[in-house]
């Protein structure tokens, strides 16, 4: 049941794609200084030479100085991010498919092409999550390079801001939260840092997912285990979240009854959940009873009697009675080590005693069975390995559709099929752009879940590079994607833009606490560690806890000497997750990371008050603010007005705006500049991505 | 069909989808009613038009306050008489002991949640904490079920918290958070005044107008509206409802955040805010319970006693339900650090005003305060009891945007005998 009729496995796909993209038709044309040209795939720079792959499959090396300047510039760009022949051909294919449907829907073509100034603001916000500086804006506006749009997209995709901005998206989707649902200071910082690292390294998405699903150990030994530890004690909720983010279906209702609209039964829910049925999240630690004094803490991954033997050691060598209530810290330390993912064959998923749906009986043991698509191949694998392989297999298109559709939504502001975390197979069949959905799903597989390359395709489409649709399309309507829709900035985009305005583009490089100290504390193999080693870890734990420094702000060089990172003037992705103390992020709708995709884009009176009168406004627009001080370099009021517009809205002022602004500056000098800056930040245009 | 359900249709919409398509012109402060107020279906007594819910975060010790016993479990806390024969209190509740005839004390609360986060969540929403949905607190529920009460002021306010949300309900129902009761609504002090402010605003409005003409979207329009509303609020007298600096009896409430929070709550209720939560921490007494109670309980005693007397003298007590809640009690056995640990098996909560029959002790624990002996009350029951007093329909199903059905108090049984 629920099989997609049209999608074919990836192996067939490669052949199909070869049909679509014949090299002779698609490869970039390279021109030499003496006017000769060739079509080839660029493979990289080797010393003073460029390396190419020709249509017949052979590789050639050509001295770089034989090419014209434009091609030399292109080579330098492509050397960093890879050839774009397929990228651009793929973008054109998307445009062709969309254009066919546009005609059918009565549009003559896409919205008008985006002018340079709007383009540069949009790609900075969409790709690296902040507005451009005045200098970045002008550099682009003044560039005469023919491929300057492709070049800027590529430059942004390989800059650190790209991963930072994408992190905010996944942090919301995967509910990255350093301390939610945990007591006694057990934290997720190493897991959160792992996410930052994966995105910075552009790890293929299916590898990220597989690593999370199959992880064992604690967050110190294996940070990816944080995914499963996130919902310890709420295992069925954890499973429901797995369904939403990885399969794009909300199956939570089937926990209590048969699904009302889809074909799944309550029994199907538990059978699928059984893939996680022998996953043990916390070793012997029972959250509710332990706090009441009734819980017993055991360390099954440690030698028998480990704890008692260590306590004896601490008592005899250091004169400390670990069982003393005053040394609560030892209990917390052991608990933290005990949040530890393992496969335990003694565990099973059991149907609830009040099971009332079909496909099972009360108190029955559920056997792992997939909810949709093909059966999972289980031979020689753990249950979680089996489900991870099933999920990411080429013949399970659902996984690719979900991530392709999400990435599409990020670029255009509307998904191809929605809602992004809960759509049925009939929604897929009924999508308004079925060919495009099919095509981008294949492309996600062709690029091997390289999200950066996938986004590179979308940003290079004519559809994306159109002005935003002027009228808000209805949610129920089948949007034709004549251009992106207007979107309010995410809270993090607004915050990061404000950080930029205060601190300049260096803010992209600045790092916050990375969880490394906490990671080092927990990274112990108790089956091998000596008492002295464990003692060293515990001492580091104990001293930091007692000083109340809080693990959230501690980093280290992978050792047990912490450094405090107390700087809060950082991009949102580098702050503790989520950052509830920064009223701006919270006020503007940053998700509190309890449920998935919970960012709020609505306005509010408190937001408006914060922009009008809040402390950040003074820092952004006061007399000593960067924007006001920077205008000293310009002489006339006209140029100062343009400078303020370039800085805050990244566009040229209209004639009328110029006259108004000039008047303010002529009458009131620097106060006038400050007033103008305040007005721009307090106009809705500032908060929107057009 | 329910309004949300009919909007959402059969293909369930995600929370975000729903929020984006729903009316956006509202977030509590001075904006239009997001849902049409319906025929007010009075349920329960409905005498409580307002609610002040004092939430003691950390777990209030039941033995040292409203459920004192004899013997070792009391440590050094002594038991005092009250102006009601069968009601005893811990020694620090001297002022409240003289107003016991206004109180209904529930000594048979029990919960299955021994951790703060989970315990607090259910005591404030009536639902177990889950990882797939966020449940609304009482304020958004009341506004959803009864319609918006005031015109300019929000329907619900939470004091002692810097953030809030409306759970799965429309964000416009979110309580307005006031972190510091003395600080009022954040960011209401203009940076520049007079002509200069007007000049700034005028320019911003011109720019905004161009933008909203260019894009026909609800988003930018809503910001234009929010600016209007913010300006109205800044100029309005209603803003003074959040300013307690001029209150003559301010010091009677005590100068701590709990006392000042109760004072602000009284003022807000007087000005038409329906639900005010006052959240106060410091009740997690794992160490030195004697020392901790000696500071926290008198603060509570002064704040609540003054609040009840103040409401009464203003004629507001009959229509204002005052509730004291907490996530669990504390262990009868005093630990090695002279503290008490978490104890969800038995604890106490209190109700007063709003139609409550004063001088009532409901439920009973055993001789050591360890076990509920009669009339057990769950967190869901407690929330349902509040709803009963407020006249909320405890059977009206509200659907989340993902089509999950919810009722106020999660089918808890209201303790109706507490009402006169």
Rounded Cα distance between B225 and A436, Å, is: 38
Candidates B13, B18, B26, B114: best to mutate against A (most CBs of A within 10 A) is: B114
Question: How far is the C-alpha of A292 from the C-alpha of A418, rounded, in Å?
Answer: 45
Pairwise CA distance, residues B250 & B37, whole Å: 36
Are A282 and A299 spatial neighbours (Cβ–Cβ below 8 Å)? no
User: Which pLDDT score, from 0 to 100, does residue A261 have?
Assistant: 63
Contact A473, A485 (CB under 8 A): yes
Please tell me the distance from the alpha carbon of residue B228 to that of residue B232, in angstroms, as a whole number.
Answer: 6
What letter would DSSP give residue A202? T
Report how far residue A171's alpha carbon sits from residue A193's, in angstroms, rounded to the nearest whole number: 11
**pLDDT-wise least confident of A59-68, A284-293, A348-357, B289-298:** A284-293
Which chain A residues touch B176 with a CB distance below 8 Å?
Answer: 606
Considering only CB atoms, A675 lies closest to which of B165, B199, B403, namely: B199
Assign B154 to helix, strand or coil: coil
Contacts of B186 in chain A (CB under 8 A): 583, 606, 609-610, 614
Q: Is A95 in contact with A102 (CB distance < 8 Å)?
A: no
Asked whether residue A293 carries a pLDDT value surpassing 50, the answer given is no
Helices (H) and strands (E) in chain A, counts: 31, 11
A-interface mutation test, from B24, B25, B132, B405, most A Cβ less than 10 A away: B132
The CA distance from A668 to the nearest CA of chain B, in Å, is: 10
* pLDDT attached to residue A289: 32
Nearest to A683 among B21, B189, B207 (CB): B207
Q: What is the pLDDT of residues B254-295, one digit of tens each?
A: 999 999 999 999 999 999 999 999 999 989 898 889 999 999
Q: How far apart are CA A194 and CA A221, in angstroms?
A: 12
In this predicted model, what pLDDT tens digit does every residue of A471-518 receive, in sequence order? Answer: 988 766 689 999 999 999 999 999 999 999 999 999 999 999 998 999
CA of residue A14 relative to chain centroid, distance: 27
Torsional sign, CA A511, A514, A516, A521: positive
Per the CB < 8 Å rule, is A683 touching B342? no
β partners of residue B158: B177, B277
pLDDT band, residue A298 (cuts 50/70/90): low
* Least CB–CB distance from A287: residue in B115, B186, B222: B115
> What percentage of chain A reaches a pLDDT higher than 90?
61
Chain B residue closest in CA terms to A292: B342
Centre a 10 Å sphere on the Cβ of residue B106 and count the other Cβ atoms it contains: 26
Cα torsion for B206, B208, B209, B213, to the nearest 10°?
A: 150
User: pLDDT at residue A12 above 90?
Assistant: no
Ramachandran angles phi, psi of A507, nearest 5°: -60, -30
CB-closest option in B131, B190, B226 to A234: B131
pLDDT at residue B25, as a whole number: 31
| ipTM of this predicted structure | 0.89
How is residue B302 written in tokens? 């002064």
| Residues paired with residue A597 on neighbouring β-strands, in sequence order | none
Whole-number Å distance between alpha carbons of A459 and A291: 52
CA distances from B41 to A253, B391, B393 (A): 30, 8, 7
Give the CA distances from residue B302 to residues A310, A326, B255, B266, in Å, rounded to whole numbers and listed in that order.
49, 33, 10, 14
Stretch B197-211: mean pLDDT = 91
Give residue A283's pLDDT band: very low, low, confident or very high (50, 70, 90).
low
Cβ contacts of B189 on chain A, cutoff 8 Å: 613
Q: What is the pLDDT of residue B129?
A: 85
Strand-pair partners of B176: B157
In this model, does residue B4 exceed pLDDT 70? no
CB contact under 8 A, B219 and A605: no
The answer to whether the CB atoms of A261 and B12 lie below 8 A apart is yes
pTM given for the model: 0.84
DSSP of A13-73, one letter per residue? Answer: HHHHHHHH--HHHHSPEEEBTTS-EEE-EEEEEETTEEEEE-TTS-EEEEEGGGB-HHHHH
Neighbours of B232 (CB within 10 A): 15
Phi, psi torsion values for A688, nearest 5 degrees? -110, 150
Q: Which residue in A125, A121, A127 sits closest to A162, CA to CA? A: A127
Rounded to whole angstroms, how far apart are CA atoms B69 and B63?
Answer: 7
Rounded to an integer, what distance in angstroms lies between the CA atom of residue B299 and that of residue B92? 9
Residue B342 dihedral angles phi and psi, to the nearest 5°: -65, 140
Q: Are strands A563-564 and A688-689 parallel, antiparallel or unpaired?
A: unpaired
- Would you say residue A672 has pLDDT above 80? yes
CB pairs under 8 A between A and B: 238
Whether B320 contacts B52, CB under 8 Å: yes
Instruction: Provide mean pLDDT across the span B328-348.
Output: 91
The pLDDT score that the predictor gives to residue A326 is 64
Looking at beta carbons, which pairs linking A205-210 to residues 24 or more positions away fall under 8 Å? A205/A403, A205/A449, A205/A451, A206/A392, A206/A399, A206/A448, A206/A449, A207/A449, A209/A246, A209/A388, A209/A391, A209/A392, A209/A399, A210/A388, A210/A389, A210/A392
Q: Do A679 and B215 touch (CB under 8 A)?
A: no
Chain B positions touching A281 (Cβ under 8 A) are none
Whether residues A605 and B19 touch (CB distance < 8 A) is answered with: no
Give percent above pLDDT 70 in chain A: 90
Burial A546-574 (b: 16+ CB within 10 A, else e): eeeebbbbbbbeeebebeebeeeebbbbb
B99-138 pLDDT, tens digit per residue, is: 999 999 999 999 988 878 889 999 999 999 887 788 999 9
Interface contact flag, B131 A419, Cβ < 8 Å: no
Out of A324, A581, A688, name the one closest to residue B219 (CB): A688
Query: What is the percentage of chain B residues whose pLDDT exceeds 70?
Result: 90
Is A292–B343 a contact, with Cβ atoms under 8 angstroms apart?
Answer: yes
B5: preceding bond cis by omega (within 30 degrees) = no
Q: What is the pLDDT of residue A321?
A: 87
Contacts of A486 in chain B (CB under 8 A): 215, 217, 219-220
Calculate the alpha carbon distances from A170 to A64, A196, A197, A268 in Å.
40, 10, 13, 28
Confidence of residue B179 (pLDDT cuts 50, 70, 90): confident
**What ranges in A565-648 are assigned the alpha helix state H?**
583-587, 605-613, 615-621, 626-630, 637-648
Interchain contact, A252 vs B196, CB within 8 Å? no
Residues of B in contact with A326 (CB under 8 A): 336-337
Extract the tokens encoding A492.
């993090």
Angle between helices A134-142 and A637-648 (to 10 degrees): 100
Cβ pair B16:A471 closer than 8 A: no
Host H or E run for residue B291: helix B289-313
CB atoms within 10 A of CB A516: 21
In this prediction, residue B87 carries a pLDDT of 97
Supply the pLDDT for residue A460: 98
pLDDT classification of A25: cutoffs 50, 70, 90: low
Instruction: Give the H or E element holding residue A317.
Output: helix A306-318
Q: DSSP state, A472?
A: P
What gap in Å lies between CA A207 and CA A195, rounded to an integer? Answer: 12
When pLDDT is cut at 50, 70 and 90, the band that residue A140 belongs to is very high
pLDDT of the residue at A548: 59
- In terms of residues, how long is chain B? 420
> How does residue A286 score in pLDDT terms, banded at 50, 70 and 90?
very low
Contact B162 A586 (CB under 8 A): yes
CA separation for the pair A185, A194 (Å, rounded): 19
A598-617 confidence digits (pLDDT tens): 888 888 888 999 999 998 89
With an 8 Å Cβ cutoff, are A679 and B31 in contact? no
In the block, residue with structure tokens 């003054």: B306
Chain A CB contacts of B15 under 8 Å are 595, 597-598
A605 to B208: CB separation less than 8 angstroms, yes or no? no
Q: What is the DSSP letter of A685?
A: H
Nearest by CB: A240 against B113, B132, B204: B132
Q: Which residue of A has its CA nearest to B175?
A: A606
Query: How much is the pLDDT for A505?
Result: 97
The β-bridge partners of B216 are A471
Measured CA to CA, the distance from residue A416 to residue A460 in angstroms comes to 18
**How do B320-326 and B405-406 pair as beta strands?**
unpaired
Bridge pairing between strands A49-53 and B176-178: unpaired
Long-range own/partner contacts, residues B300-303 (CB < 8 A, 24 or more apart): B300/B54, B300/B56, B300/B65, B300/B93, B300/B258, B300/B324, B301/B92, B301/B93, B301/B94, B301/B95, B301/B96, B302/B95, B302/B252, B302/B253, B302/B254, B302/B259, B303/B54, B303/B253, B303/B254, B303/B256, B303/B258, B303/B259, B303/B261, B303/B262
Query: Six-digit token pair at B195?
Result: 């002509």
Which residue of chain B comes nearest to A414, CA vs CA? B17
B224 contact residues in A (CB cutoff 8 A): 684
CA distance A401 to A440: 8
Query: Quick check: B211 and A175 CB within 8 A?
Result: no
**Which residues pair with residue A365 across a beta bridge?**
A350
Which residues, listed in sequence order, are joined to residue A282 by a DSSP beta bridge?
A339
For the residues B183-191, what does the mean pLDDT come to? 88
């Amino acid at each position: 049941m629920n099989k997609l009729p049209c999608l074919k496995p990836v192996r067939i796909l490669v052949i199909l794609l070869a049909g679509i993209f014949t090299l002779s038709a698609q490869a970039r044309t390279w021109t030499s200084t003496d006017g000769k040209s060739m079509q080839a795939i660029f493979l990289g720079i080797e010393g003073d030479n460029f390396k190419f792959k020709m249509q017949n499959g052979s590789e050639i090396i050509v001295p770089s100085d034989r090419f014209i300047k434009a091609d030399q510039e292109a080579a330098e760009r492509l050397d960093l991010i890879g050839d774009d022949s397929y990228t651009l051909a793929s973008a054109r294919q998307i445009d062709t498919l969309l254009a066919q449907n546009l005609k059918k829907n009565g549009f003559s073509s896409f919205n008008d092409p985006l002018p340079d100034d709007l383009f540069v603001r949009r790609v900075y916000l969409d790709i690296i999550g902040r507005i451009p500086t005045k200098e970045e804006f002008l550099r682009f506006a003044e560039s005469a390079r023919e491929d300057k749009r492709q070049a800027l997209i590529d430059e942004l995709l390989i800059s650190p801001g790209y991963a930072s901005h994408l992190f905010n998206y996944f942090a919301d989707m995967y509910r990255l939260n350093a301390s939610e649902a945990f007591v006694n200071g057990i934290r997720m910082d190493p897991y959160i840092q792992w996410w930052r690292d994966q995105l910075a390294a552009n790890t293929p998405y299916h590898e990220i997912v597989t690593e999370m699903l199959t992880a064992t150990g604690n967050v110190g030994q294996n940070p990816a285990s944080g995914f499963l530890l996130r919902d310890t004690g709420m295992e069925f909720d954890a499973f429901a979240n797995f369904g939403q983010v990885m399969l794009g279906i909300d199956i939570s209702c089937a926990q209590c009854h048969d699904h009302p609209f889809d074909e799944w039964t309550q029994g199907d829910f538990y059978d699928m959940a059984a893939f996680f049925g022998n996953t043990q999240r916390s070793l012997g630690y029972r959250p509710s009873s332990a706090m009441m004094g009734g819980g017993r803490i055991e360390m099954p991954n440690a030698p028998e009697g480990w704890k008692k033997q260590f306590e004896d050691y601490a008592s005899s060598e250091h004169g400390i009675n670990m069982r003393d209530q005053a040394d609560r810290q030892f209990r917390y330390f052991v608990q933290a080590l005990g949040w530890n993912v393992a496969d335990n064959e003694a565990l099973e998923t059991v149907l609830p005693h009040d099971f009332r749906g079909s496909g099972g009986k009360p108190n029955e043991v559920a056997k792992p069975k997939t909810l949709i698509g093909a059966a999972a191949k289980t031979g020689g694998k753990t249950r979680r390995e089996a489900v991870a392989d099933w999920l990411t297999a080429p013949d399970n298109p659902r996984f690719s559709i979900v991530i392709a559709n999400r990435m599409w939504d990020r670029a255009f502001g509307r998904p191809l099929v929605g809602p992004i975390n809960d759509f049925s197979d009939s929604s897929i069949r009924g999508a308004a752009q079925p060919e495009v959905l099919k095509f981008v799903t294949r492309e996600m597989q062709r690029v091997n879940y390289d999200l950066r390359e996938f986004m590179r395709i979308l940003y290079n489409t004519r559809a994306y590079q159109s002005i935003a649709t002027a009228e808000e399309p209805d949610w129920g309507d089948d949007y034709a994607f004549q251009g992106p829709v207007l979107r309010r900035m995410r809270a993090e985009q607004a915050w990061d833009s404000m950080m930029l305005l205060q601190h300049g583009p260096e803010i992209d490089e600045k790092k916050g606490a990375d969880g490394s100290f906490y990671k080092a504390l927990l990274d112990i193999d108790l089956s091998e560690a000596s008492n002295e080693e464990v003692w060293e870890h515990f001492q580091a734990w104990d001293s930091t806890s007692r000083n109340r420094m809080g693990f959230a702000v501690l980093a280290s060089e992978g050792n047990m000497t912490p450094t405090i990172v107390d700087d809060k003037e950082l991009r949102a992705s580098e702050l503790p997750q989520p950052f509830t103390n920064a009223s701006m992020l919270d006020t503007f709708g940053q998700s509190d990371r309890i449920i998935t995709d919970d960012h709020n884009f609505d306005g509010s009176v408190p937001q408006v008050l914060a922009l009008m009168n809040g402390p950040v406004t003074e820092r952004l627009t006061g007399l000593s603010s960067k924007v006001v001080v920077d205008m000293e370099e310009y002489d006339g009021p006209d140029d100062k007005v343009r400078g303020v517009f370039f800085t805050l809205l990244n566009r040229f002022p209209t004639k009328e705006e110029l006259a108004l602004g000039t008047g303010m500056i002529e009458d009131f000098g620097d106060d006038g500049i400050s007033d103008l800056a305040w007005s721009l930040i307090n106009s809705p245009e500032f908060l929107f991505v057009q | 069909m329910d309004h949300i359900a009919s909007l959402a249709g059969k293909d369930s919409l995600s929370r975000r989808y729903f929020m984006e398509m729903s009316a956006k012109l509202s977030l509590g402060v001075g904006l239009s009613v997001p849902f049409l107020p319906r025929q007010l279906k009075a349920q329960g007594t409905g005498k409580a038009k307002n609610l002040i819910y004092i939430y003691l975060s950390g777990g209030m010790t039941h033995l040292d306050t409203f459920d004192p016993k004899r013997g070792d479990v009391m440590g050094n806390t002594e038991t005092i008489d009250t102006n009601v024969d069968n009601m005893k209190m811990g020694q620090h509740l001297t002022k409240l002991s003289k107003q016991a005839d206004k109180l209904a004390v529930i000594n048979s609360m029990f919960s299955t949640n021994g951790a703060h986060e989970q315990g607090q969540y259910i005591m404030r929403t009536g639902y177990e904490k889950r990882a797939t949905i966020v449940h609304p607190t009482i304020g958004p529920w009341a506004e959803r079920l009864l319609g918006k009460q005031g015109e300019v002021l929000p329907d619900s306010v939470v004091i002692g918290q810097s953030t809030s949300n409306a759970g799965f309900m429309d964000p416009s129902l979110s309580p307005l958070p006031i972190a510091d009761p003395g600080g009022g609504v954040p960011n209401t002090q203009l940076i520049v005044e007079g002509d200069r402010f007007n000049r700034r605003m005028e320019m911003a409005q011109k720019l905004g107008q161009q933008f909203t003409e260019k894009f026909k979207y609800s988003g930018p329009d809503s910001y234009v509206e929010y600016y209007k509303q913010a300006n109205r609020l800044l100029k309005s007298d209603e803003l003074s409802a959040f300013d307690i600096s001029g209150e003559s009896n301010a010091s009677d409430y005590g100068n701590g955040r709990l006392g000042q929070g109760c004072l602000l709550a009284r003022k807000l209720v007087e000005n038409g805010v329906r639900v005010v939560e006052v959240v106060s921490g410091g009740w997690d007494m794992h160490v030195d319970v004697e020392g901790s109670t000696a500071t926290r309980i008198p603060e509570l005693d002064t704040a609540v006693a003054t609040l009840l007397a103040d409401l009464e003298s203003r004629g507001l007590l009959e229509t204002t339900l005052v509730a004291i809640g907490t996530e669990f009690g504390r262990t009868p056995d005093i630990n090695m650090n002279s503290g008490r640990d978490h104890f969800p098996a038995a604890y106490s909560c209190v109700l007063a005003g709003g139609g409550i029959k004063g001088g009532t002790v409901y439920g009973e624990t055993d001789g050591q305060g360890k076990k509920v002996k009669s009339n057990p009350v769950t967190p869901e029951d407690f929330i349902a009891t509040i709803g009963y007093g407020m006249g909320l329909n405890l059977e009206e199903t509200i659907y989340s945007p993902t089509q999950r059905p919810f009722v106020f108090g999660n089918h808890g049984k209201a303790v109706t005998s507490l009402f006169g």
